[in-house]
């Protein structure tokens, strides 16, 4: 029987950031959906806007913690992409998710001290955390201060285009959250990875 090994993947600052960011994102999704219709706003339109803006400020602050934390700690090394096997590696991991893990195949990229994410996780985290989240923050700030938005974009209201763009980004982040929770349930047990983000230790 293979002995279980524990790796300290999640230092205290990262666990605190993850909790704050998760809370803020969930509130943004719920209030954002509610704001799509004045009638469906569960706590009043103005109150929902205020809560959405507060959650947006919380996520903005937590993002700077994440960004700076990855610059000054070793956690940033897990997000570096190697050109070798740039396409082949995620395809191999996708095959494992779709077919291999249901047929007891060995994971192609097991976690280790040097690898916290498999290729698909790494690429999706980079896209979400370094592209989608910054864009949703910037577009959210623009909607909070509409005077900075270009008045017309190809004969359409600049505010309208920005709002659509902001909502689309929110939708993709929502999909990512659902997939993220599903992937997190894959492991030694459905709750093992959730325990890891609380204790900091991950069982390999």
Distance separating alpha carbons of residues 88 and 108, to the nearest angstrom = 12
Asked if residue 133 lies in contact with residue 177, where contact means CB atoms within 8 angstroms, the answer is no
Query: If pLDDT is split at 50, 70 and 90, which confidence band does 152 have?
Result: confident
Domains and CATH numbers, the chain: 6-81+124-203 (1.20.950)
Three-class SS of residue 3? coil
pLDDT of residue 2: 52
pLDDT at 98 over 60: yes
pLDDT of residue 95: 96
pLDDT of residue 31: 92
Residues 12-62: tens digit of each pLDDT: 999 999 999 999 999 999 999 888 876 655 678 888 999 999 999 999 999
What number of other Cβ atoms are within 10 A of residue 153's Cβ?
14
pLDDT at 1 over 50: no
pLDDT of residue 62: 96
- Token readout for 124 is 């999706």
Residues 59-88: tens digit of each pLDDT: 999 999 999 999 999 999 999 998 989 999
Asked if residue 40 lies in contact with residue 34, where contact means CB atoms within 8 angstroms, the answer is yes
Asked if residue 51 lies in contact with residue 31, where contact means CB atoms within 8 angstroms, the answer is yes
pLDDT at 161 over 90: yes
């Amino acid at each position: 029987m293979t002995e279980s090994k524990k790796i300290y993947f999640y230092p205290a600052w990262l666990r605190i950031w993850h909790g704050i960011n998760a809370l803020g994102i969930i509130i943004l999704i719920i209030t954002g959906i509610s704001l799509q219709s004045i009638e469906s706003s569960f706590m009043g339109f103005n109150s929902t806007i205020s809560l959405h803006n507060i959650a947006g400020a919380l996520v903005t602050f937590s993002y700077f913690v994440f960004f700076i934390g990855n610059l000054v700690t070793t956690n940033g090394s897990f997000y570096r992409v190697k050109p070798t096997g740039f396409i082949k590696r995620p395809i191999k991991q996708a095959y494992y998710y779709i077919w291999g893990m249901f047929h007891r195949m060995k994971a192609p990229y097991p976690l280790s001290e040097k690898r916290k994410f498999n290729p698909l996780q790494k690429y999706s985290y980079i896209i979400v955390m370094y592209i989608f989240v910054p864009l949703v923050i910037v577009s959210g700030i623009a909607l909070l201060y509409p005077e900075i938005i270009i008045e017309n974009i190809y004969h359409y209201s600049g505010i309208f285009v920005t709002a659509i763009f902001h909502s689309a980004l929110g939708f993709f982040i929502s999909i990512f959250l659902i997939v993220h929770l599903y992937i997190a349930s894959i492991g030694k047990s459905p709750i093992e990875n959730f325990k890891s983000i609380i204790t900091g230790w991950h069982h390999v």
